[in-house]
Amino acid sequence: MDRTSWQHQYKRLLTAYGKKASPDQSAEFFSAVQSSTGAAVHDGVSACIREGKYFPTVAELVAAVRNAGHKHAAPQATCDVCDNSTWIPHECAGVSAPDAAAKPAPVDRAHYCGRDWVHGAHSYARRCYQCWTFSGQGAA
């Protein structure tokens, strides 16, 4: 958080509570929140305005910023296989049959989607084998 961004957030607090600006108070608040992200400070100020009856103390603002910062934190782990999308793109070479009576067979076994009827080449996606079960989406 830079000083200019903080001044905008401080002005929001002052306006919401009908207070006059104090350079000493602004500096004290800024020193407490300057290591936080701008998004977390914005959300923390919004929470103080929305939930507080009185102008927040430095400790109350820091707690609100810390709580807001958790939702802006970067993911703790990333999947190297799917880049956290939980899906892996694949290409199917298609399935063909030499004649109408023959059983359809994949054109290329390494690039096969699993459908057993005659069809052309296409793209498709499968669930990531590495992270799907850990994402909570694939848990049955």
Q: How far apart are the C-alpha atoms of 130 and 121, rounded to whole Å?
A: 26
Q: pLDDT higher for 15 or 137?
A: 15
Q: pLDDT of 45-96, one tens digit each? A: 999 999 888 999 999 999 999 888 766 555 556 777 887 788 889 999 999 9
pLDDT mean across residues, the chain: 85
- pLDDT (0 to 100) of residue 139: 45
- pLDDT (0 to 100) of residue 90: 92
Which pTM value belongs to this model?
0.51
Q: How far apart are the C-alpha atoms of 6 and 11, rounded to whole Å?
A: 8
Burial of 45 (0-12, 13-18, 19+ CB in 10 A): buried
- Do 10 and 29 contact (CB within 8 A), yes or no? yes
R_g of the chain, CA atoms, integer Å: 28
Q: pLDDT of 87-140, one tens digit each? A: 889 999 999 999 888 999 999 999 999 999 999 999 999 888 887 665 454 444
Q: How far apart are the C-alpha atoms of 83 and 69, rounded to whole Å?
A: 23
- pLDDT (0 to 100) of residue 70: 67
- pLDDT (0 to 100) of residue 140: 40
- pLDDT (0 to 100) of residue 60: 92
